[in-house]
Amino acid sequence: MDVLRPGSAPLTPVTAGQAPPSSTAADPRAGATGRSAWHRKAGLLPLAYLVGLVALGFAHPFLPSWRWLAIHLLLLGAVTNAIVIWSAHFSAAVLRTPPPTRRRAEAVRLALLNVGVAAVLTAGAGDLPRLGVPGAFLLLSALVWHLTSLAGQLRRALPSRFRVTVHYYLAAGLTLLTGVPVGAGMLVDGGSHQARLLLFHAHVNLLGWITLTVLGTLLTLWPTMLRTRLADSAVRDTVRALPLAVTGLVLLGLGLLTWWRMITAAGLALFLLGVLVAVRPALAAARARPPYAFASWSLAAATGWLLVALVLDAATLLPADEPGTAADRFGVVLVPLLVGFVGQVLVGSLSHLLPVVLGGGPDAARRRAALLDRHGPQRVAMTNAALAVFALPSPPYVRITTSLLILVALAQFLVPAARVLLTTRR
């Protein structure tokens, strides 16, 4: 079976239990194509937002809107930058398109994106709603440009069995195109429908933009991380899961906007079914070769928290009498979804990918991987145990302690990741 080499565009045959070359070694052509230099610079963007998130964790008593800022530093800053950077990388890989000789267009897109993100963050944190609208416009412009580029690659590429990954990226991007304008409108004036718009904005962005991207990438990234082959049904299941998840999202969005709980329930059920179909090949790969390193354990734990969050979402949304009640209870869903799922996917994926794409040969890649994997069992155990305690009803001092432990685990990733990016040379 073919497994994606995240370090380069070609796909290489591997047998069960045999590691793809890119799982442990960098592509020697990385320097020649400028890819390693690009990822050294672009990789600092998500890290910068995560550093801001850690700083906010200690300064939050002085900021009245710190919860909103923390959520958007993670999702709009760190995660959106990571998705734009790595979806372009994986699209080129699965479509087998040649690496770009120049990165100017990608650099301008990222600059446009981050100017927009900075404006939206400033508008939300500083109560400057009028700044949020042009910021959202810049952000959406960068995203439309990015999606147009992916669609052009897909149209020009030869047939590929993994092209469904790019379909997931395009579907995820379309959900963000609907979610961001709603969020920008809420900054200006949510009106009497504030609760419905909040629920729509959160679900479309978290389940659409982020979860669809993750599900599409898992097809090839997960078996590569485990150094095993794809499950026989992997591509077929991934293809079948996409219409289920997208239809579920459409119904869920309509149900939340109209507050028709039967439609909401049908949407959640379809989306959950799509997730289960998409992760079934990942479970088969894990049975063949269980997770063994920090990155793979993080993604495994993240998938578990996604399922927990979806069940909690149904338990809080469906019994609610009105949108305001559901919005007040949504914090119960946000904690496992943001920290357990999104945070662990981001940290785990970067821990696997950064050593591969920075060039320097197999020895350098192994050293970087070992650095990012240091204290892996302790970090995974501490993060998930602290999150489980935090999610339960507990006294304030317990919640403070557990949140500090999660911040410490994040810092344990940020320090070696920054060291890897800042010290790597051609």
User: Within 13 Å, how many C-alpha atoms sit on residue 322's CB side?
Assistant: 6
Q: What is the 3-state secondary structure (H, E, C) of 55-89?
A: HHHHHHHHCCCHHHHHHHHHHHHHHHHHHHHHHHH
Residues 6+ apart with CB under 8 A from 213: 83, 87, 168, 169, 172
The three-state secondary structure class of 319 is coil
Percentage of the chain beyond pLDDT 90 is 68
DSSP string, 244-283: HHHHHHHHHHHHHHHT-HHHHHHHHHHHHHHHHHHHHHHH
Residue 425 has a pLDDT of: 53
Q: 158 near 166, Cβ under 8 Å?
A: no
Question: pLDDT tens digits, residue range 273-294?
Answer: 999 999 999 999 999 899 999 9
Question: pLDDT tens digits, residue range 224-277?
Answer: 999 998 888 999 999 999 999 999 999 999 999 999 999 999 999 999 999 999
Q: How far apart are CA 75 and CA 334, in angstroms?
A: 12
pTM for the model stands at 0.90
Q: Which two tokens stand for residue 388?
A: 């489980």
**Rg of the Cα atoms in the chain:** 20
Residue 385 has a pLDDT of: 96
Residue 191 has a pLDDT of: 65
Residue 424 has a pLDDT of: 62
Residue 360 has a pLDDT of: 79
Q: How far apart are CA 394 and CA 389, in angstroms?
A: 8
Residue 181 has a pLDDT of: 87
User: Within 13 Å, how many C-alpha atoms sit on residue 183's CB side?
Assistant: 30
Per-residue DSSP letter, 4: E
Q: 50 near 414, Cβ under 8 Å?
A: yes
Residue 37 has a pLDDT of: 87
Mean of the pLDDT values across residues 297-316?
A: 96
Question: pLDDT tens digits, residue range 375-422?
Answer: 999 999 999 999 999 988 888 889 889 999 999 999 999 999 999 998
Residue 16 has a pLDDT of: 36
Residue 26 has a pLDDT of: 42
Strands 11-13 and 2-4, bridge-based pairing: antiparallel
Residue 393 has a pLDDT of: 84
Assess whether pLDDT exceeds 90 at residue 10. Answer: no
